[in-house]
Copies of this chain bind each other. A is one copy, B any other.
């Protein structure tokens, strides 16, 4: 069983004071190398660990970063989207690499007063919000209260907190240009432009089309889930037949849902319809045909998010930043 060893016990065992023991464990250069090693050795033997609650209280610092998954509702982009896992898991790694721990949260737990709950409540030193959501008031409120906070979202959004995310405009434009280059002329944007990041992708879509007089476009608004995409495309085909020859889907999950509907109705991808997604999830590579998509550099973004959060903790005011996107050309286009 857990013998409840405290720093005081350990100090006594080592024949030193608690201050010496504390410093030794924190590798303070004030302590002689030899003493340090002896105490650390002793700590290992007695499997002693510093009481984090006590040192957090004392230091007024938790070494914890809270990550809030900020989805709009249940129906929106689902927590099942593998892309979210990728983002969270990359943030986790980045956080750990800086010696912090990751408290995983959602709006359910944190309520509306993020500053009060996490910061005043000394549960975390700062917050990473994944997803801007459609209403940003919770974020703004937290920032106004002085919360160190960064957001994964669309970096072009004007605001007083740093946002890190992909160049969604360029991503949308690149994807669309690619569809045009491949010969598609009647394009569909499948998604929901009201969502900040997707809005930028849609603007990119429009920008690419503006240069091409012979092409036409339609916006098809759907919930950003593969289910919704499947049903929507299915219904469109049934009702109006094939009225398009290219789809830019706002996410890979959406693209894959659309692709399923097409294949079921014997529409050939890429011959009849070319399709491009966004995110480069693992499935994009393994679907058949494999899915052309815009890759987001989540690893780099995660590092940036954490770096900017730590910069805030150090009193700086880091700015928003875009990470590069890359077209992954595969079979679907």
Contacts and interface: CB of A to CB of B under 8 A. Distances in A.
Interface of A: 1-2, 4-5, 47-54, 56-57, 62, 64, 67, 78-80, 82, 84-86, 88-89, 92-93, 96, 101-106, 108-109, 113, 115-117, 119-123, 145-147, 226-227, 230, 253, 256-257, 259-260, 263-264, 281-283, 285-288, 290
A218 to B, nearest CB: 23
A1 B89 contact: no
Given A5-B120, A120-B49, A103 B103 contact: yes
A108 B263 CA distance: 43
A52 to B, nearest CB: 5
Contacts of A119: 2
A116 B48 CA distance: 6
A50 B119 CA distance: 10
Contacts of A85: 79-80, 82, 84-85, 88
A245 to B, nearest CB: 19
A117 B53 contact: no
Nearest to A80: B282
B101 A123 contact: yes
Contacts of A96: 106, 108-109
A102 B102 CA distance: 9
A260 B288 contact: yes
A1 B145 contact: yes
A120 B2 contact: yes
A262 to B, nearest CB: 9
Given A51-B120, A52-B121, A102-B104, 9 more contacts: A4-B120, A47-B113, A56-B56, A78-B282, A80-B282, A85-B88, A101-B123, A259-B288, A264-B288
Nearest to A108: B96
A163 B239 CA distance: 51
Residue among A49, A226, A257, A263 with the most chain B CB within 10 A?
Answer: A49
A122 B52 contact: yes
B92 A86 contact: no
19 contacts: A1-B146, A48-B120, A49-B113, A50-B121, A51-B57, A80-B82, A80-B282, A84-B85, A85-B85, A101-B103, A101-B123, A103-B103, A104-B104, A226-B282, A226-B285, A227-B286, A253-B286, A264-B288, A287-B287
B57 A54 contact: yes
Contact of A121 (B49, B102, B146): B49
Contacts of A101: 103, 105, 109, 123
Nearest to A264: B288
